[in-house]
Chain A
Amino acid sequence: MAKIGVFTCHCGENIGGTVDCAQVAERSRALPGVVHSVDYKYMCSDPGQTLIKDAIRDQGLTGVVVAACSPRMHEPTFRSAVAEAGLNPYLCEMANLREHCSWVHPKGEATTDKAADLVRVMVEKVRHNTPLQPIRVPVTKRALVLGGGIAGIQAALDIANTGHKVVLVERSPSIGGHMSQLSETFPTLDCSQCILTPRMVEAARHPNITLMTYAELEKLEGFIGNFKATIRRKARQLDEKLCTGCGLCTTKCPQKNIKDEFNEGLGTRPAIYVPFPQAVPNKPVIDKANCTFYKTGKCKVCEKLCPTKAIRFDQEDELVTLDIGAIVLATGFKVMRTDQFPEFGYGEYADVLDGLQFERLASASGPTLGAIRRPSDGQEPETVVFVACSGSRDRAKGVPYCSKVCCMYTAKHAMLYKHKVHHGKAYVFYMDIRSGGKDYDEFVRRAIEEDDVKYIRGRVSRIYREDGKLVVKGADTLQGGAPVEIRADLVVLATAVQSQDGAEALAQKLHVSYDPYKFFAEAHPKLKPVETNTAGIFLAGACQAPRDIPETVAQASGAAAKVAALFSRDELTREPVVAVVNRLPAPEYSWCVGCFLCQSACPYQAIGAEEIRGRDGVLQKTVAQVNPGLCQGCGTCVATCRTKAIDIQGFSNEQVFAELMTL
């Protein structure tokens, strides 16, 4: 027997000014199932809420309709009030008499009629509401951070410092990411490695962080709070427990001239190598593709010389499966490369470099120990041209977006060059200068005013080599488009920031959405920048979009906070507006026929299969089953189901049709 209470709010003059609230309350009293109907000035106020709670207790109400503002405003308010009075909160609904009625229609009979109709609709719905319990899902309090650059390191440290366990997985042999390749960082010109390495060491030493380098995610199963991650620890060909990091093997390896990834191809390394001196962990790895032993079966010099006998040529990859509660994606970015710039001769002329390569030249630990030298002949360049926006903001190159960091790092590069080569001439060809961060614009002005970097507003159309010089042809649009030709010794292209190699495949493994440029998609561009649409997977850093270090660190901490919130309880509580597949007694068991159309319609992979067995254990039927932990309650499956076997709690077919039938 339904005993519904209707509470009509005046909201001061907001509703009362155009809708005759007393009339609405009067008419509602006559509706089937309604035993109590009042109107009041301010329902959301304390006395207003008390009215509701008292009525529930005194009259034993089985359902409540608050006719007031939008449920998007106060549904949580009234649901808590109702819960306090001992009634299941999901038996309380709101009729929107303000945003959808009083505020948009003139005072009059038609408006009051509409208000009454809206209340009647919600009363009918509530008559069919069932009490719902929030869904509880257990939480494994271990986080997985994918990516060991500054974003991953920061997120790992923050989560670890809240007392929870973290596994930090990095696919290259050392953590550090691109930040470890930088020479100095803007706007302070802090030495990048000096500020990064302490964090790297802290991450390695932290009791709550397990570091897995030279490892990648192989497979992910499960859902928020209950993931199962399989990590492939690639074989370093080393017993890490025995290796002391002495580095003797790297000095004796006969293969010395392999192009070095850390130095972006400007330097060389041996086949057994540590990527850079400050690597964490400071243990080598054998590059099987270039190792003499793996190619010809001869050598093993490193094994013979190792003082602790740590080299293991027969080591295989290892697969490790972990229980994980939350994941932070921090896989970073790459820069646009060679084959995109034939007009600049990039890849063809040794003296045309990209931004990361210039960082390595300028870096004290780089191939030239910090001296700016032309890769072609080792000479110091007298004239350097920096080309901003190489590839970015260019639809023809497939990158319509702005890469955000280049204006700043180009100014930085020009300044570093001038600091090292005082008499050198530096030119920057730019379209706009985007320096919006704290102290950023001042930094660019410093390059122009103190370091005498010449900024030319125009694009470069062509670079070609003539008599050992690079002829840069551009235009100066602030001088009426006058053509400019500079004979440079070195050219640095600020190439576009792009999503990391393998980002798409990883996103598909995790069921995380991504944009057309393969940057991972946030749940809401404004209000949910660190969450993805997949519950339990968070984002940090440039894997989401080009960004600089301060923002990356901030976002990483934000993601860590979300993870900490998730781990702050042993159980995860979720709104029970989820889909449920119906179950019936034998022999039907369910209206579901097992067509699984719902499964393909579900954007969250929340629908799995359930085998229904009889008492004798014989399989009767395989039907769909919704994972309440993953289901977000959109209802697409409900509309797809041909037999109406699946329904949404809170917006069930019964409820919606009841609302409709009363109109």
Chain B
Amino acid sequence: MDTFEPKITAFVCNWCTYAGADLTGTSRIKYQSNVRVLRLPCTGRIDFMLLAKAFAQGADGVIVSGCHPNDCHYTSGNYHARRRWMVYRGLMDFLGIDVRRVTFSWVSAAEGARWAELVDEVTSRVRELGPYTEYQELALTGVE
């Protein structure tokens, strides 16, 4: 158990968080390497089924990150994402998915340090929560 390394999948928007993560790199700020970033044009593109798929694939934690409200490159994509998240969070909870394993945040293209902070915080939190085996079991319930 003490060698458990969580698998973190991150869905980020191209214009803010991806660029912010680039800045983290340019600034050589170090963070834990468990995260795998998937680039999308905008958080508005994120269909929340992607999160479910991520867990189905064995992710222990998921990060969704985009531009700050008001700053979306496409004007309103992040608002749509935020609203979807509000609804999806309730649904996840209802289904029994551990909501603590998903982090929804805003990281701008100038916030290199914040990205590193976010990844470290989420990785540590998920490491403490342990491997997410319950999701695999979830998929089976209801099929008696």
Contacts and interface: CB of A to CB of B under 8 A. Distances in A.
B46 A660 contact: no
Interface stretch (A30-38, A361-369, A636-644): A636-644
Contacts of B9: 660, 663
Interface in A642-659: 648, 651, 653, 656-657, 659
Contact of A639 (B29, B30, B44): B44
Contact of A104 (B25, B42, B73): B25
Nearest to A632: B74
Quick one: which of A105, A121, A663 has the most chain B CB within 10 A? Answer: A663
Given A100-B21, A656-B50, A659-B38, A635 B44 contact: yes
B45 A636 contact: yes
A651 B45 contact: yes
Main SS at interface, chain A:
helix
B100 interface: no
Contacts of A639: 44-48, 80-81, 84
A543 B133 CA distance: 57
12 contacts: A70-B22, A99-B24, A114-B36, A533-B75, A601-B76, A603-B75, A635-B77, A636-B76, A639-B45, A639-B46, A663-B57, A663-B59
Given A72-B18, A638-B47, A651-B45, A513 B75 contact: yes
A484 interface: no
B33 interface: yes
Contacts of A604: 74-75
Contacts, number: 122
A656 B12 CA distance: 12
Main SS at interface, chain B:
mixed
Given A103-B25, A104-B33, A105-B30, 10 more contacts: A70-B22, A72-B18, A104-B24, A110-B33, A603-B76, A635-B77, A648-B45, A653-B47, A656-B50, A660-B53
Given A70-B22, A99-B21, A105 B33 contact: yes
Interface string B54-90: 1001110000000000000111110011001000000
Contacts of A648: 41, 45
Nearest to A633: B41
A640 B46 CA distance: 9
A117 interface: yes
Interface residues of A, number: 42
B42 A634 contact: yes
A519 to B, nearest CB: 15
A656 B5 CA distance: 24
A651 B41 contact: yes
Contacts of A111: 33
B45 A634 contact: yes
B38 A636 contact: no
Contacts of B45: 634-636, 638-639, 648, 651
Contact of A640 (B14, B39, B80): B80
Nearest to B19: A72
Interface string A524-544: 000000000100000000000
B32 to A, nearest CB: 8
A255 B127 CA distance: 84
A118 interface: yes
A636 B42 contact: yes
A104 B28 contact: yes
A98 B22 CA distance: 9
Given A99-B21, A657-B53, A635 B41 contact: yes
Interface in A86-109: 96, 98-101, 103-106
Contacts of A103: 24-26, 28
A624 B80 CA distance: 19
A105 B33 CA distance: 6
Contact of B36 (A121, A513, A533, A634): A121
A661 interface: yes
A577 interface: yes
A237 B83 CA distance: 54
B37 interface: yes
Interface string A576-604: 01000000000000000000000001011
Quick one: which of A72, A114, A639, A663 has the most chain B CB within 10 A? Answer: A639
B59 A603 contact: no
A91 B24 CA distance: 28
A651 B47 CA distance: 12
Contacts of A633: 41
Given A104-B30, A114-B36, A634 B41 contact: yes
Contacts of A659: 38
Interface string A603-626: 110000000000000000000000
Contacts of B41: 577, 633-635, 648, 651
A663 B7 contact: yes
B29 A651 contact: no
Given A99-B26, A513-B75, A663-B57, A656 B40 contact: yes
B86 to A, nearest CB: 14
Contacts of A117: 36
Contact of B38 (A71, A601, A656): A656
Contacts of B29: 104
A72 B21 CA distance: 11
Contacts of B33: 101, 104-105, 110-111, 114
A601 to B, nearest CB: 6
